[in-house]
Amino acid sequence: MRRRTVAIAAAGALFALSVCAPPATAAPDPGSPVKVNQVAYVPGLPKQATIVSSATTPIGWTLRNAAGVTVASGQTTVKGADTLSGDNVHIADFSAYDTPGSGYVLSAGGSDSYPFDISAAPVQQLRKDSLAFFYHQRSGIAIESQYVGSRYARPAGHVGVAPNQGDTSVPCRTSCGYSLDVRGGWYDAGDQGKYVVNGGIAAWQLLNIYERSTDRAALGDGTLAIPERANGVPDVLDEARWEVEFLLRMQVPDGRTDAGMVHHKIHDENWTGLPMRPEADPQRRLLSPVSTAATLNLAAVAAQAARIWRTIDPAFSARALTAAEKAYAAAKSNPGRIASGSDSTGGGAYDDSTVSDEFYWAAAELFTTTGGASYRTDVTGSPLYKGAGFNQGGFYWGWVAGLGDTTLAIVPNGLPAADVTATRARMATFADGLLSQMATQGYPAPNGGTTYNWGSSGQIANNAAVLGLAYDFTGLAKYRTGAFQALDYLLGRNPLNQSYIAGYGEKAVRNVHHRFWANQADASLPTAPPGALSGGPNSGLQDPVAQAQLAGCKAQKCFVDDIGAYSVNEVAINWNSGLASLASWAAEHTGTVPPQDTTPPSAPGTPVASDVTSTWLRLTWAPSSDPESGVTGYEVRRVSGSTSTVVATTTTASASITGLTPATAYTFVVAARNGAGLTSAASAPVTVTTADPPADARPSTPGLPVASAVTATGFTLTWAASTDDNGVTGYEIHRRQGDALSILATSTGPSVTLTGLTPNTEYILMVRAKDTAGQFSLLSSPVTVRTAAAPTGGCTVAYSANSWGAGFTGSVTITNTGTTAWTSWTLGFTFPGDQRVTQGWSGRWSQTGAAVTATNESWNGAVPAGGTVSLGFNGSYTGGNTNPTVFTVNGTTCA
């Protein structure tokens, strides 16, 4: 759950009043170096473990059953340094052993794993337990021992029974002239607030579990331990309806200002302490103002509910559809009602300045339910149509385009078949990107980036659900494997040997940040119930416990199982709905799992050579096919007698071969690889003779470059000119960084002036000449030049970023360190990646390319000597979110 900084500070302060944070200690013990899924590997699916070892050659592993008998053995594969964990790792693959049983132990390097099963049963149970989480989180109803046991039973919370002030008549935080009965729904997370944008995605995911299921009997009436278990309605729908009814109550009534719009959230007037049983909460409850995002969440979920309940409960279906259409119309009339980022007293802000994705999602649901022409136009006219939202990443509460895509991809809707196919293909492409990242990891998890943010476990579950969809769309085993690898990670195959799902595994999370599941703070209260998903590793460390214990942690190790570590160990309905979605899909893909792919790809076509020169040529070939795991790449091999040497690898059906000898015959073959790691038979060979060496000699090597006029951002480079029998046409200036070379500049003569360089940075430069025949000389000897330090004076800038999902909040503090007051100011900096400013405050923000500028507002332009001014923004990014390093104020570089 994302909170603004002020909310984090408040929550931390209140926690400190109730429970003393532990003193700083070492990072959590990572336990045995043999990391496994501590619960169960599913028969018929790949089974891998990660071994922490500095050995540079394979080591032996053994698999023992519960009786201690060795049933399988083999050698590890060396993976090497793993960036996300900081570990040196090997991979042990014991997929070939497939006998169901319990108490298996994997040993390697003299260490044992935690015990685990080979069985599909735990995944089936996880489907139920992950859904049971939502009954535990219900507001406005007693949680009864007959369903959860006496340990977890509690009276109804927030129904107006003292000391509760109740949710039966809740006024607006900002006066609106009315109060609403907003009983029911789910408590959002470890606090007891109820947030429409988080409840929206969570309710949608439960409804989607039913809508996409191929085994609805497993979700039927009587499958969950809830009060509605004998009403003739599938239990997963009963549970979702508890939240949908609450969402409907959050809509502004007819006849009131903003009728049809939806209040963003409802929670306590101030942050409550911890622990705090729901029925004991004495705080006044308040409605936050309406927002466009919340209104569209209701429109989407109510339209989805109307579709599903059309034959189950026609009256409820009609009521939901009326509310959905009213909300969508209201949102179109009020597209800019953005929730305030400062509304974070007593509950998280959940502000979201971009609502194009919510409009697309709501239109997709309304079109799918009604077939209405206007909704169809809004869907097909959106720039997010046909899966384009996945260009920005997966989905979470603040980016929901993928929810609309999912509905359009799986529910019959009347769109052109080609458009549905394109949507499915874009989702599969996103899944391919996840698999590519996972292939580089020692502990594979589809996090979608190199930074682990607040709620990483939920993001991993959501991304794994997309892998499951890609499998359903294509039948390719690689996607199924990736989805189950995500479960392996959540259930213990991670650097800390930590199961992030309560009640599952030898080292399962217990002390989540929660006001009722607070056993660590009060022994009379329970620990987290089975099936509750912890937020998981978070590089941001936005709470004092995590900061004290985890400073400097690697991304996948930024976790501690402590009730006070709310930025890594909270729970939330939208994370558990992601887990429930993944577990439900996995449960349906265990009993009838196809056999492992043992068939290699077809052989590629005979290579054809083109563009043959004296030292270079291109090969192309007819691609291979592999209906089970898909073709992942090709190897080009040079054949000489009985020796075959790989000279190039590629993911396409062509490759360039360089570094050849003139007038020499070469024989090449090509082989394909598939997603299961199998290699095809080699293609038929092709023999190619390179051309004779050119009559024109290449240029002579330029002289050693010499730098002059060195400044913070540039310098001039000169060198002795090259000579050539037919003339030199120009020069390339190359920069060397490690083993990599890149062209920094070009010149037509033996001199160049370089600009736009980074201050106080070392540049290793070499030059080569090019002649009229296109030939290059050898590179000159390198010269090393360090730019000057940036001049500073008169200002300092402090910058910090708090990331979540695909977004982040940037905070900037400017200090006037000079002796003269400013009457106005202009801040400038450049993002090192693809970050974008989406909304700013306390300044007028603009961005061109990567360059960002902020100028003062009318009320904060005057800054006295020694004074400061603070401003900030929300942003989006993909990949890494590296901080900018150089800041200017009024044209002066700041310290």
Catalytic residue set: 191, 513, 561, 570
Rounded CA separation 378/363 (Å): 6
Rounded CA separation 220/216 (Å): 6
Please provide the DSSP assignment of 7-36 as one string: HHHHHHHHHHHHSPPPPP-PPPP---SEE-
Query: In sequence order, which ranges of 396-476 are alpha helices (DSSP H)?
Result: 401-410, 417-439, 456-474
Please provide the DSSP assignment of 737-783 as one string: ETTEEEEEEEESSSEEEE-SPPTT-EEEEEEEEEETTS-B-PPPPPE
| Residue 548, CA distances (Å) to 265, 457, 570, 783 in order | 32, 22, 17, 45
Q: Which are the contacts of 508, defined by CB distance < 8 A and separation ≥ 6?
A: 38, 499, 501, 502
Rounded CA separation 479/712 (Å): 49
Q: Which are the contacts of 159, defined by CB distance < 8 A and separation ≥ 6?
A: 140, 166, 167, 168, 183
**Residue 231 burial (CB count, 10 A):** 12
Please provide the DSSP assignment of 219-287 as one string: GSTTSS-STTTTSSS-HHHHHHHHHHHHHHHTBPPTTSTTTT-EESEEEESS---SS--GGG--PPEEE
Strand 116-118 to strand 101-108: parallel, antiparallel, or no bridges (unpaired)?
Answer: antiparallel
In the block, which residue shows the tokens 């179109």?
332
What letter represents residue 9's amino acid?
A
| Beta bridge pairs of residue 769 | 731
DSSP percent split of the chain into helix, strand, coil, nearest 5: 25, 25, 50
Rounded CA separation 837/854 (Å): 11
Query: In sequence order, which ranges of 511-657 are alpha helices (DSSP H)?
Result: 544-550, 566-569, 573-588
Q: Which are the contacts of 110, defined by CB distance < 8 A and separation ≥ 6?
A: none
The sheet with strand 643-650 has its strands ordered as 643-650, 631-640, 665-674, 686-689
| Beta bridge pairs of residue 491 | 499
What letter represents residue 35's amino acid?
K
User: How deeply is 26 buried, as exposed, middle or buried, from its count of CB atoms within 10 A (0-12, 13-18, 19+)?
Assistant: exposed
Per-residue DSSP letter, 384: T
Q: How many helices (H) and strands (E) does the chain have?
A: 16, 40
Using DSSP, state whether 548 is helix, strand or coil: helix
Question: Would you state the structure tokens that stand for residue 437, as one six-digit string?
Answer: 């990242």
Question: Would you state the structure tokens that stand for residue 275, as one six-digit string?
Answer: 């622990």
Rounded CA separation 187/140 (Å): 10
Rounded CA separation 13/516 (Å): 18
**CA angle in degrees (0–180, nearest 5) for 893-894-895:** 130
**Residue 24 burial (CB count, 10 A):** 12
Q: Which are the contacts of 333, defined by CB distance < 8 A and separation ≥ 6?
A: none
Distance of CA 288 to the CA centre of its chain: 29
Question: Would you state the structure tokens that stand for residue 231, as one six-digit string?
Answer: 């009403």
What letter represents residue 416's amino acid?
P
Q: Which are the contacts of 530, defined by CB distance < 8 A and separation ≥ 6?
A: 129, 132, 501, 502, 503, 504
**Residue 353 burial (CB count, 10 A):** 19
